[in-house]
Chains A and B, each alone.
Chain A
Amino acid sequence: MSVAPPLLAVEGLTKSYGGIHAVRGVSFSLRAGEILALIGPNGAGKSTCFDMLNGQNRPDTGHVRLLGKDTTGKKPREIWRMGVGRTFQITATFATMTVRENVQVALISHEKQLFNLWGSAPNFDRGEAGRLLELVGMGGYADRPCGELAYGDLKRLELAVALANQPKLLLMDEPTAGMAPRERVELMRLTAQIAREKSIGVLFTEHDMDVVFEHADRIIVLNRGTLIAEGSPAEVRGNPQVQAVYLGEGLLYDAQHREGASA
């Protein structure tokens, strides 16, 4: 009897720079509709790990499989075509275009109309673009120039853009970094809601432990490049090794410290 492969399966991911092992033999998996948080102190290898999933970095050894298909070593744009949407730690949007146009570009790409020289882009999938913007609560901003948006709204827009290709998996690198506390809660609540409704798997890295413990179904903890714990929020919270890593250094201190650095 064959078991359906998990949405995302990471096996033995390893990456070193010179003599430094940034990531060592990390394996985990993610089911559809599940929200998984990747946490760890600074320098734990979260970003390296993340970049190997989204194609910006190639692992030395190990594999990443999406619904059984190997994505290792593929370019970011190829991984996107396989159904992976993503948001960036520092938002990347098209600043001189309107909010709607930002979403329309993603839709144009999704429908492989990029080399269509004669169609009318302003009318391209206008309805679908509007629906995506409504979904993230940006419906009223469609005609605003993207360059004028507040940071929290840019994050929402990124989410709408990431959803344009009807992804199976969302990769969110510090989705709430640089946001006000209330905005954080709202954005993650929204993400969780969309993920459950559409059965999208979400993997996110995060420094704000309130966000992590409130919204993640499951948490994996990295320290010095290796996976030290995995489990439900309650399990991870009670894990002595995790406590040593975090509380030993001072959880609050670390979170605030990082906040100041990234602001």
Chain B
Amino acid sequence: MNIPAELKYVDTHEWVRMEGDIAVVGITDFAQDQLGDVTFVELPAVGDMVEENKEMGSVESVKAASDLFSPVSGEVIEVNPMLENQPEILNSAPYTDGWMIKVKISAQPSILISADEYKNVISA
């Protein structure tokens, strides 16, 4: 299971990459593997406010529909346009092409955990 050390995580299986006060958000390799082939992704729109640990969208796969939880609070400034027509990139490249949204954070994130801590979450 790929868990890049330079990223931060939340135990609801989203990852975050901080670029200044911008947070890039996606789902982990573990999450995409558990979901199986992703068929549809529903994300917030640019301008929407997301809140830490609150629902921000959903992912549907051949197995299940799962809620997405925002790891940070702030305003959505960009949404990955590729996910609308090519949801399969979530399976093939969850940490790169499969990023979901960019958020201009409005508060210091408080629930993020390290790659090692996330490793413990998924092996529990």
Is B one of A's binding partners? no
Point out residues on A near B: beta carbons under 8 Å. Answer: none
- Hey, which bits of chain B sit against chain A, CB under 8 A? none
